[in-house]
Amino acid sequence: GASPAELSESVAVFTRALAWRTSEREIARGVTLHNLGIALRRLSELEPEREPEHLAASAGALREAVAIRGRLGLSEGRALSQRHLALSLERLEAKPR
């Protein structure tokens, strides 16, 4: 999505999907969490008033994606999620407190 509305809709869809993508469907859950983390980071850019909240949620989703992908031995996917997690954390830590 390119607009706050589109990204908010994406976040809502990914969040709903996680209700069905449980530990029984871990690969799909990891992919969904990865994409949710990216969508939240992009949304933080478009909603500066909620940037810390979105970045923290992004980092949480990406941490879980990293854990799942690591547990399943998906090294390329894990590396990609780690990269996006680092981007979210870098932006979160750069925010004045």
Determine the Cα–Cα distance for residues 76 and 32; give it in Å rounded to an integer. Answer: 16
pLDDT digits (tens, 9 = 90+) for 80-90: 999 999 999 99
DSSP state of 19: T
Give CA–CA dist 13/61, Å, rounded.
Answer: 14
Between CA 32 and CA 46 the distance in angstroms is 21
Q: How far is CA 27 from the centre of its chain?
A: 15
* pLDDT, tens digit, 9 for 90 and up, residues 26-63: 999 999 999 999 999 999 999 999 999 999 999 999 99
Residue 97: pLDDT band by 50, 70, 90 thresholds? low
Read off the pLDDT band of 79 (50, 70, 90): very high
Distance (Å, whole) CA 84 – CA 74: 16
